[in-house]
Amino acid sequence: MRNKKLHITIIIIFLAVIGVCLYYTCIKYTINSSIKLGLDLKGGTQIILKPTNVGEEGITAESMDKAMLIIMDRIDKLGVSEPLVTKDSSNNIIIQLPGVDDPDRALEIIGKTAQLEFRILAGSFISEEGLPVTIDSETGNLSINSEIGEVFLIDPKTGRASGKLLTDPETGDMLLVSPESETQDVIGKLSIKSETGELLLTDPETKEILGEILTDSKTGAASLVESVLMTGDKLAKASAGYDSNGRIIVSMSFTGEGQKIFEKITSENVGRQLAIILDDNIKSAPVIRTAISGNAVIEGIDSLSEAKDIALVLQTGALPVSLKVEESSTVGPTLGMDSLRKGLYAGIIGLILIVIFMNSFYRGLGLVSTIGLIVYILIFWGIMSGIRTALTLPGIAGIILTIGMAVDANVIIFERIKEEIRKGKSARISISEGFKHGMRTIIDANVTTLITAAALFKFGTGPIKGFAVTLGLGVIISMLTSLVFTRSILFLMAGLPGVATTKFLGVRMKRSNI
């Protein structure tokens, strides 16, 4: 009686699990959208990022590996399922994003260098008519022509000109000179660093770098900033939100070391403007009123979505190498919906053939096996729907493989049950012996498969991981249905009239020759 209650309880638990799985499959997501499709079945976006040399060290294997990890972290925060991030022989990073809703946003976030810098703003280049001078995107130099007149460097603290741009008639170099008309002493020379494309102000004699010219994202003006005082590696946290005036900002908090450095910077530059620079663009340049030991904010952001994107890339850290988009394309399904249908048809046909074989060879036991397979499929599909994993063609292969493994477990148990019945034992004792002796073999076989699935998931990428997920999940569910659910069904059926017969169990008794 006690065993009977236990088996009834097990059946009820399985029915409850099936109900939850049906909810996720049919109600929450609907059957058509319950399973996400991978890039090979649904298509998506492919992005190829090409690294550019950084500093004297150039590109190293370590920096590329770190860049790939950061990109994967950003993709995870975007919520993209089953991404594939690989590196080719040319050190290009290839990213495949199955079924992304907004490929442009994904491209913007994934490839962003996210280099955060704090520098003192030395001034902005303004024409004599009061118009901002911009940086030419093609040449990388200042966009100056005869129509805008003379160009001055305006000191942000005094509002007066601290320098004037002139072109050297002999060399053609662009020089920044003293604004006084009498002396016009050379302050520095504008030059472009060929390796990185940086527009620098250098001392013409010592070649010392006096500052860098960047674009102010608010005004569009080319602005001169001094050397880097602190970078984003001292950042502890970044979050998007609103300030007390309802303006969109990104709040930044620093590490313990970062707070000390930031306090030192602000205490030594009271009254000057601190430029907050993200990816070579001056996002904001607030005036330092007093020494600051707490947090900082990035202002001048157009939308909350942009603020969240900035916070996201700051949180995941700066890429150790500069990356440019070599190629961005929408990838059509490599196997397509036609292959998906063929794969599903193959699985359905295989399932039907298995059911026919099991019912023909094992009779009543085959019927129980069929019920177990149906329960396995319902639970498997429900869990796949619930965890929202992407289904790839290798994943479908993993599902079909585990269906076969579930049947193998039934065959081992059923054959043992038939042997025990031929020895003259009762149906209930035969069922108990069949599961007892078959369980160890089944567990050993499935555990080795689980180890293989774990190794594939750990060291594989993209579709290989998809195969590992379906294989591992299928093995666990098939073990539970074969060893727990099917056992409870058989024990409850064994007490019913007509079930404990050799005919129902598909047992052919050996005839004696005597």
Give SS3 for 83.
coil
> Which is nearest to 469 in space by CA: 380, 403, 409, 374?
380
Give SS3 for 9.
helix
Is 0.75 surpassed by the pTM of this model?
Answer: no
Which residues 6+ apart lie within 8 Å of 191 measured at CB?
A: 173, 199, 200, 202
CB 468 within 8 A of CB 89: no
| DSSP one-letter code for 146 | G
CB 481 within 8 A of CB 406: yes
Residue 318: its pLDDT value, please? 61
Residue 120: its pLDDT value, please? 94
In the chain, the domains with their CATH numbers are 2-37+332-513 (1.20.1640.10), 44-112+322-329 (3.30.70.3400), 116-315 (3.30.1360.200)
Q: Rounded to an integer, what distance in angstroms lies between the CA atom of residue 8 and that of residue 179?
A: 94
Residue 342: its pLDDT value, please? 78
Residue 498: its pLDDT value, please? 67
Q: Rounded to an integer, what distance in angstroms lies between the CA atom of residue 284 and that of residue 291?
A: 18
DSSP element (H, E) containing 212:
strand 209-216
DSSP assignment of 453-510 equals: HHHHHHH--THHHHHHHHHHHHHHHHHHIIIIIHHHHHHHHHTSTTTSSTTTTT--PP
CB atoms within 10 A of CB 308: 17
Residue 382: its pLDDT value, please? 83
CA of 29: how far to CAs of 21, 252, 361, 469, in Å? Answer: 11, 38, 39, 20
CB atoms within 10 A of CB 166: 15
Please report where in the chains the tokens 């649904």 appear, as a residue: 42
Residue 190: its pLDDT value, please? 92
Joined together, the tokens standing for residue 333 give 């399904």
Give SS3 for 249.
strand
pLDDT along the chain (514 residues), means of 10: 79 89 70 61 78 63 78 71 74 79 68 77 90 85 80 89 87 85 81 84 89 89 92 83 87 87 90 85 84 78 79 69 77 64 80 85 83 87 76 78 79 84 80 82 86 84 76 88 86 73 67 48
Q: How far apart are the first and last CA of the chain?
A: 42
